[in-house]
Amino acid sequence: MMTNPTGRITQGQFSFLPDLTDEEITAQIGYGLQKGYAWSVEYTDDPHPRNTYWEMFGMPMFDLQDAAGVMMELDNCRKTFPGHYIRLMAFDSTRGVESIAMSFIVNRPAHEPGFGLVRQEAEGRNIRYTVHSYATDKPEAQRY
């Protein structure tokens, strides 16, 4: 159990709100589609803040126009990885952006053990910090 005010990892756009219902997720997907973004489903069992590359659950859905299609992919991912973190990401290919435009978590493990801070005393009063995920002490697929 994490002890920050939300009791959980707060990455993404909506971690401080109550979990979004499927209907609310659909509305967000619709907003992205209307902006011309391509949606992608990603999952991980290593939610370290600097773990950039979560696993891709298939490729970004560039030609998909219907939010229901994204929800189907999300449902498949949830069935396959019910205890993983899953996020939806929207890609914007506009010149000058060409990056991620939206990102929010839509599935979490029941228990989020969080992270410890490892401090290595260095020269002078310097300390070298490492954020360490408790979950990754266990092998892949046994973490949550």
How far CA 51 is from CA of 30, 46, 63, in Å, comes to 27, 7, 28
**Partners of residue 44 on adjacent β-strands:** 85
Neighbours of 17 (CB within 10 A): 10
Q: Which two tokens stand for residue 114?
A: 């969080």
| Residue 49 touching another protein (CB under 8 A) | yes
**For the chain, give me the number of helices (H) and strands (E)?**
2, 6
Q: Considering only residues 79, 95, 110, 139, which one is a binding residue for another protein as defined by CB under 8 A?
A: 95
| Residue 141 touching another protein (CB under 8 A) | no
Q: Considering only residues 21, 53, 79, 99, which one is a binding residue for another protein as defined by CB under 8 A?
A: 99
Q: Residue 78 Cβ, how far from another protein at the closest point, in Å?
A: 20
Which of 13/73 has CB closer to another protein? Answer: 13
| Residue 116 touching another protein (CB under 8 A) | yes
| Residue 13 touching another protein (CB under 8 A) | yes
| Residue 114 touching another protein (CB under 8 A) | yes
Q: Considering only residues 117, 120, 121, 139, which one is a binding residue for another protein as defined by CB under 8 A?
A: 117
Report which residue type is found at 48: H
Number of residues forming the site for another protein (CB under 8 A): 47
Angle at 117 between CA 111 and CA 121, to 5 degrees: 165
How far CA 58 is from CA of 6, 25, 76, 94, in Å, comes to 30, 19, 11, 22
Q: DSSP secondary-structure letter at 61?
A: B
Q: DSSP secondary-structure letter at 1?
A: -
Which of 60/114 has CB closer to another protein? Answer: 114
Q: Name the residues that contact another protein, by CB under 8 A.
A: 2-6, 9-11, 13-18, 20, 24, 27-28, 31, 47-50, 52, 89-90, 95-104, 114-117, 125-129, 131-132
